[in-house]
Structure 1
Amino acid sequence: MYGVSEVLSIRVPRELKKRLEALKDTVDWRSEIVRFLEERVEYYERLKAIREIEEMMKNHPELPRGFAARSVREDRDSS
């Protein structure tokens, strides 16, 4: 899926590391962690995009109620 990989190192509590090691024959922790990180990155990228769009929308004037319907009607009637 990806090309070149990099090392990401994190510290975890000793007890958690022991529990992870106890399950290493059952769970592929690397795959689990990579999948989790991919999902979280996608979530935060979407969240960031939404916030940027909301910020851009604050700078645009609010249109009066019914403006879109009137505009479509006028365009249709002018044909």
Structure 2
Amino acid sequence: MSVVLSIRIPKKLKEEMDKLKDLVDWPSEIRAFLEERVRRYKRIKVLREVDQILEQLPETPRGLADKLMREDRERY
């Protein structure tokens, strides 16, 4: 299912687009652009949510990573 999205653009831009209409399928170009933007902003949204979750986690004590790596190496 699809819907119609209507936008206003400057007249000069429309004239330039019309000059290129035999080279460019504008509806497909615009649709692809919007799809990419939606994907990008969805990723940004997820990253912000992850950042918020990470900010709520307690801080790791200094030197813990070194300690855990040493313990892990000693096991093998």
Q: Matched residues, percent identical?
A: 48
Q: How far, CA to CA, are the matches of 2:63 and 2:42 in structure 1?
A: 34
Q: Which residue in the other structure is 2:27 paired with?
A: 30
Q: CA RMSD in A?
A: 1.7
Q: Which residue in the other structure is 1:18 paired with?
A: 15
Q: Which residue in the other structure is 1:5 paired with?
A: 2
Does residue 55 in structure 1 map to residue 52 in structure 2? yes
Q: How far, CA to CA, are the matches of 2:6 and 2:63 in structure 1?
A: 56
Q: Which runs of 5+ in 2 are unaligned?
A: none
TM-score w.r.t. length of structure 2: 0.82
TM-score w.r.t. length of structure 1: 0.79
Q: How many residues align?
A: 73
1:71 deviation in Å? 4.7
Deviations 1:12-49 (A, max 9, x none): 00010111111111100011001111111111110110
Q: How far, CA to CA, are the matches of 2:7 and 2:56 in structure 1?
A: 41
1:68 deviation in Å? 4.5
